[in-house]
Amino acid sequence: MANSTIRTAVVGAGKMGEIHAKVYDQMPQSDLVAVVDIDSTKADRLAERYGAEAYVNCADLLGKVDAVTIATPTVTHLKLAEVFIANKVAAMIEKPLASDVKQGRRIVGLARKNKTVVAVGHSERCNPVVQAIKRLNIEPKFIEASRISPYPFRSTDIGVVLDVMIHDIDIILSLAASKVKKVDAVGVSVIDEKEDICNARIVFESGCIANITASRLALKTERKVRVFSRQAYLSVDYLKKSGIVIKSGPNIDVVKWIREHRERKDFNPLAVNWPDLLHIEQLDVDDKEPLRLEQEVFLGAVADRSLAPEVSAEEGLAAMECAGKILASVKKHKWD
């Protein structure tokens, strides 16, 4: 399949399905052949836009496609994934992987048994700033992430942890590259039965600590992360796709200067402009659409089995397992 076009399909003709269909249609390695949705009107409309066939039953795609993107409500992920994975059709499943850890493990088990490529749509991992952080190859000791926004009026079948925080959980797990040792969290349900606000503290076996805040009841939208390591300090804004890096190496002279001047009687610390002392670099960010990169890597893995998707089913499951520990801690510390 390495030199041929991959026959693709999108399952779910909602907002995310529309976005995935558009990306598939624009990719030279993809031939978008079908759209599936239980609402035939939606399926027909989206399929017609890209010259594809419309279906209401996933089983009708078998034998006609090589890879699919499942962009449906989380509660349907396992049922739909089973149809394709059992028939060795590669699947990109929108995050989160499944409704719960048990279902996530079922999907991972099916993928291994059938030796089928299964990816999870944690598109934030493909955000240019995350890719830039990855290239720095640092070993974080402390990570602080904040992802807040006004109420989105969607994804009401899951709480803010699986809907929003899961992005940062996935990224932090990839950066920490260590097993989770301990999780403490607190969450509040305001509008729905599920939590709308959550803060979690994750301690890893490596000693790295992460503090994550997620809210879908904020007055503004903010997606930021700060990373502290021996090699560098990073401050990143996902929305602006920008960030700064303060590397330890170029700032050795600053440490020396501070040590020499702080003991001087005529030294006035208020006269020092701290940023002027530091060697600050702008994070080297490529301006590439995250979803496009996500799908390119996915189809690359479908065409060449020696390659891996950006976020594998196993990694998607790891994020869910961590999210499960956070939700268990939220339940344990439930407010009266």
Residue of 12 and 246 predicted with greater confidence: 12
The partner residues of 302 in beta bridges, in order of sequence, read none
Angle at 158 between CA 200 and CA 37, to 5 degrees: 145
Q: 219-237: per-residue pLDDT in tens?
A: 999 999 999 998 889 999 9
Token pair in block for residue 184? 């403490």
CATH superfamily entry for domain 6-122: NAD(P)-binding Rossmann-like Domain (3.40.50.720)
User: Which of 59-63, 137-141, 284-288, 298-302 shows the lowest per-residue confidence on average (mean pLDDT)?
Assistant: 284-288
pLDDT score recorded for residue 3? 55
How does the average pLDDT of the chain come out, rounded? 92
Domain ranges of the chain: 6-122, 126-289+321-332
CA distance 71 to 120: 11
Q: What is the Cβ-side half-sphere exposure of residue 148, based on CA atoms within 13 angstroms?
A: 13
Higher pLDDT, 260 or 35: 35
How far is the C-alpha of 320 from the C-alpha of 161, rounded, in Å? 10
State the sign of the Cα–Cα–Cα–Cα dihedral 75, 163, 317, 25. positive
Lowest mean pLDDT among 15-24, 171-180, 251-260, 310-319: 251-260
- Give the percent of the chain with pLDDT over 70: 96
DSSP-derived secondary structure letter, 335: -
Amino acid 252: pLDDT:
65
What average pLDDT score do residues 150-172 get? 89
pLDDT at 230: 87
Evaluate whether 215 touches 160 at the Cβ level (below 8 Å).
yes
User: How does pLDDT run across 1-29, given as a tens digit for each residue?
Assistant: 545 799 999 999 999 999 999 999 999 99
Q: What is the pTM of this model?
A: 0.87
Contact 225, 243 (CB under 8 A): no
**Is the confidence at residue 336, as pLDDT, over 70?**
no
Closest to 136 (Cα-Cα) out of 11, 255, 229: 229
> pLDDT digits over 194-206, tens only?
999 999 999 999 9
Higher per-residue confidence, 4 vs 218: 218
pLDDT in tens, 36-63: 999 999 999 999 999 999 999 999 999 9
Residue 285: partners with Cβ closer than 8 Å, 6 or more residues away: 128, 129, 131, 132, 241, 242, 243
Distance CA 129, CA 175 (A): 13
Domains 6-122 and 126-289+321-332 share a fold: no
126-289+321-332: CATH topology: Dihydrodipicolinate Reductase; domain 2 (3.30.360)
Cβ 195 vs Cβ 330: under 8 Å: yes
d(CA 219, CA 111): 41
84 has pLDDT over 90? yes
- The 180-188 sheet, strands edge to edge: 180-188, 197-204, 209-215, 140-148, 222-229, 232-237, 242-247, 281-282
pLDDT > 90? residue 271: no
Cβ-contact 190, 230 below 8 angstroms: no
Q: Please give the structure tokens belonging to residue 335.
A: 């407010």
